[in-house]
Amino acid sequence: MTRLLRFGLILVAFLQPALAAQCVPPGRWIAPGKGELDAGSVLARASAQSVLLLGETHDVAAHHDWQLDTLRALHARRPQMVIGLEMLPRNAQPVLDAWVRGDLDETALFERTGWKRTWGVPPALYAGIFRFAREHRLPMRALNIERQVVREVSKRGLAGVPPARREGVGDPAEAPDNYRNWLKQIWSDHMPQAQAASNEAFVRFMQGQLLWDRAMAEALVAAAREHPQALVVGLMGSGHVIHGHGVEHQLRALGVADVGSLLPWDSDADCGDLVAGVADAVFGIVPAVQDTRH
């Protein structure tokens, strides 16, 4: 037995208790509140939707690897596909179109979309997804609006920012109570005590978040109408996806009935959060260990 093999067996034995305790084993699909699913059934159901939302934690490479693998598997089942991106505002759309046509290299893509300014996460984390879209000539859609619009609504409220200044985004559907409570907790955790106690300030903050969800939902609906035979897949932060309170809620308010949601689930995530309704299915992920050496 080689030293490498012995080391591997020792490592498996060492990790076995921790892996057994994980609520979502790495590489497996789980229907929250129901149990394990086979990949075929998950992908068959997901590929049959009009719009599918794939969550992520923006700076976790393993999440983007999962997204790319999932996109490939879905594309094999439904070759007509549109990929929507939370990462880019709508004014980046001409650059995305040029990228898919093959008119730009990667350097020009990320420079001309203003990636560093608008998103800030290393572009290498998303490069594989962009390459996949161009390889298969899949339309890509910029789902977002400029952050300054969201900030302005958070400061002035929806009534203080007319649709013409919201890049045409309409009034969002009201937040479900659970979403409102979740946003309230985020608000309270990140604001000074005096400001956190202001209900009016919180409502404006919530309206900014709702506008963000609505903008992405409207862009996804527009893509679905433009490509009625395609599966429209939206890539976005998991906070916009979980429990269907964010973008999915706005999609349904816009009349989209066939909406699906899939999430990556980190091996160290709290199993108490894995409850029915958090998503249609979650996939077990082991994020790469961060190199803390200097």
Per domain, the residue ranges of the chain are: 24-146+217-285
Confidence of residue 109 (pLDDT cuts 50, 70, 90): very high
Q: Is the dihedral of CA 85, 88, 91, 92 positive or negative?
A: negative
The yes-or-no verdict on residue 264 having pLDDT over 60 is: yes
State yes or no: pLDDT of 16 exceeds 90. Answer: no
Q: Give the span between the Cα atoms of 269 and 92, in whole angstroms.
A: 34
Residue 268 has pLDDT above 50, yes or no: yes
Question: What is the architecture, at CATH level 2, of domain 24-146+217-285?
Answer: 3-Layer(aba) Sandwich (3.40)
pLDDT value at position 7? 29
Per-residue confidence band for 195, with pLDDT thresholds at 50, 70 and 90: low
Name the amino acid, one letter, at 26: P
Q: Helix H segments across 29-167? A: 39-47, 61-77, 93-101, 106-112, 115-118, 124-135, 147-156
pLDDT at 188: 86
288 versus 232: the higher-pLDDT residue is 232
According to DSSP, the β-strands at 259-266 and 140-144 are unpaired
Two structure tokens written together for 283: 């996939």
Q: Mean pLDDT across the stretch 11-29?
A: 60
Distance from chain centroid for Cα 153: 22
The b/e string for 12-21 (b: 16+ C-beta within 10 A; e otherwise) is eeeeeeeeee
Torsion sign over Cα 65, 67, 71, 77: positive
Percent of the chain with pLDDT over 90: 84
What pLDDT shows up at residue 239? 96
* Token reading at 15: 């990790």
Mean pLDDT of 193-202: 73
Residue 206 phi, psi (nearest 5): -60, -40
Percent of the chain topping pLDDT 70? 88
**pLDDT tens digits, 51-97:** 999 999 999 999 999 999 999 999 999 999 999 999 999 999 999 99
